[in-house]
Amino acid sequence: MRRCCDWDSLSGMPDHDPPDLDAPNHSRRSFLLGSAAAVAVGTANLRGTTAAAETESAALIELSATEAVMRMGRGDLSCERYAAALLARSEATRSLNAWITLEPERVLAAARACDQARQAGAHPGALFGLPIPVKDSVNTAEYPTTAGTPALRHFHPAEDAPLLKSLKAAGAIVLGKTNLHELSYGWTSNNQAFGAVHNPYDPQRIPGGSSGGTAAAVAARMAPLGIAEDTEGSIRVPAAFCGIMGFRPTTGRYSTRACAPISHLFDQVGPHARSVADLALFDAVIAQDGRPLQPTSLHGVRLGIVRDYWYRNLDPEVERITQAALDRLRATGVELIESELPGLGGLIDLITEPVQNHDVRLTLAEYLREYHAGVSFDALVRQASPDIQAVFESYVLPGSPNFVSEAVYGTAVHNHLPKLRRLYRDYFARTGVAALVFPATLVPALPIGSEDDVTIRGQTVPFETAVARNIAPGSTAGLPGLVLPAGLTMSGLPVAIELDAAAGSDRALLGLGRSVADALGPIPAPRL
């Protein structure tokens, strides 16, 4: 990757030596901050800048994507000025390690081109001038696509993923490529190859995985809208831990071609944002579904609660905040319908991990061949970080102690998965609920490095259970899921609820989610 050593030319940098780009948190990312970029960014962060300019920049980074696009499309805000504010914020918060590749000069040039096109009379698109962070598992022609793993450090795809082409066609700009859990195979984003991503609410804690870099960037106001990916929960867990909103659409609603895969049965790209309106904007562009969100009165809306699965073994603070959120919803007229989903946990055990552990060695090898990555699957695993190697050697590779046989896989896909989908269809038909509601995770964000068992109310709970138990059923069944922040713990960590609706009801879920978010109210921004 290219990098620039003219670090002090960035305006507003403290007088110290340039960061050691050979250290774990810096050696493997491209953070180009040269003198040309400094000239453009300088309006946002130049030494001696006026208080008015600083106030303006602070206001710009708080804009929603919808607001920013509207202002840039009208010409009230230049695209270059807005991009400069986001780049300055990215530099100010770079200790979070949200980025693998960030090239300010390229971003500013693209923003200037947007301004010039508008001045020449071009019609602004739905995402005109909007810089968007892209998870570094989504192919980009302009930037490397590393999937967070050493073997792909210099992999330059020949073209953008179809999803990214759609965003660009609507006027979006790639802000940069965000850090992630290596190969998207984990829940922490504690990437041993590119450095750990840090949670903006407490940098000593994980942002969740695998899309931790995008979530941290959106939460820290580096951008209002970003691209994440979710196989079992990689959109929703980081959204929950970082206090933002995350939307996993019905499986198949958005293209996942040219994205480093795990399982074609479960993989789904989706957005992170700080408002439901921005999630809906993303959905409208990618799904070509421009239907406006219908205002939803919550009076009489039925939301489902299944206590014997989603509400067991909760951290006391998660339980407190979730209950307070349910009380607020009930006060608006929501009807909470208690019921059961018998056999749900057993089906998830038989499907979710076996399918992923079976598919990843096949789908990833196919991806490497199709997009000419220049490395084989076996070579990629040999060069992977020790933690990833250990997982693959235990669960994925032929001969491993937990290898998933074709017989087990076939039963999971052709027997158990249809049962799970029928279970959900019958549940929604029987109860008439608009969505299920539950805490997204059992715990708030955990400390970086704590990936062993978790103690909840004096009981030992596996780390993966604490993080992933609640979000796994919806993605395994292919349902749309929406994560919304519900409050902060006494120590200032976000807690979120999730709404899962019937497959295909994406726009209705977003409309419901907007009303629920309004009822819950915003949470404070991280104090960085």
- Active-site residues, by number, are 135, 210, 234
Q: Compute the distance between CA of residue 152 and CA of residue 154 in angstroms, rounded to an integer.
A: 5
Residue 455 Rama label (left phi>0; alpha psi -120 to 50; beta): beta
Q: Are the C-beta atoms of 99 and 159 separated by less than 8 Å? A: no
Q: Are the C-beta atoms of 246 and 268 separated by less than 8 Å? A: no
Nearest to 485 by CA among 494, 475, 493: 494
Nearest to 237 by CA among 293, 193, 197: 197
Q: Which three-class secondary structure state does DSSP give residue 130?
A: coil
Nearest to 44 by CA among 15, 87, 14: 87
Phi, psi of 184 (to 5 degrees): 60, 25
Q: Compute the distance between CA of residue 178 and CA of residue 175 in angstroms, rounded to an integer.
A: 9
Buried b or exposed e, range 471-488, using 16+ CB within 10 angstroms: bbbbbbbbbbbbbbbbbb
Q: Compute the distance between CA of residue 39 and CA of residue 177 in angstroms, rounded to an integer.
A: 23
Q: Which three-class secondary structure state does DSSP give residue 63?
A: coil
- Tokens for 42? 């300088």
Q: Are the C-beta atoms of 76 and 119 separated by less than 8 Å? A: no
Residue 448 Rama label (left phi>0; alpha psi -120 to 50; beta): beta
Query: To the nearest 5 percent, what fractions of the chain are helix, strand and coil?
Result: 45, 15, 45
Q: Are the C-beta atoms of 484 and 491 separated by less than 8 Å? A: no
